[in-house]
């Protein structure tokens, strides 16, 4: 699954266009490599997102095309905030 779509489906970022913009700005990395919106994400990957001074690091646990809002947090595990 594309990185921008995963960020949207998992609700780490609310909109896919915003996720794409954040990736384009170089604020997202997958497995310690700066990632573009089209980067493929797999189970076990580590995603780091920089929000200003803070960095959120999560591990991908599952990949689904669609998921309900109350189940979105089951797609990832927070490693560091």
pLDDT in tens for each of the 81 residues of the chain?
A: 999 999 999 999 999 999 999 999 999 999 999 999 999 999 999 999 999 899 999 999 999 999 999 999 999 999 998
13 burial type by CB count under 10 A (0-12 exposed, 13-18 middle, 19+ buried):
buried
Q: What burial class does residue 80 get, using C-beta atoms within 10 Å of its C-beta: 0-12 exposed, 13-18 middle, 19+ buried?
A: exposed
Backbone angles phi, psi at 8, to 5 degrees: -75, -50
């Amino acid at each position: 699954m594309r990185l921008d779509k995963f960020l949207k489906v998992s609700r780490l970022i609310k909109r896919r266009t915003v996720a794409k913009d954040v990736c384009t700005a170089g604020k997202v990395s997958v497995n310690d490599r700066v990632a573009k919106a089209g980067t493929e994400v797999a189970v076990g990957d580590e995603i780091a997102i920089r929000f200003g001074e803070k960095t959120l690091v999560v591990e991908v646990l599952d990949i689904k095309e669609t998921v309900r809002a109350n189940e979105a947090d089951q797609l990832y595990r927070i490693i560091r905030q």
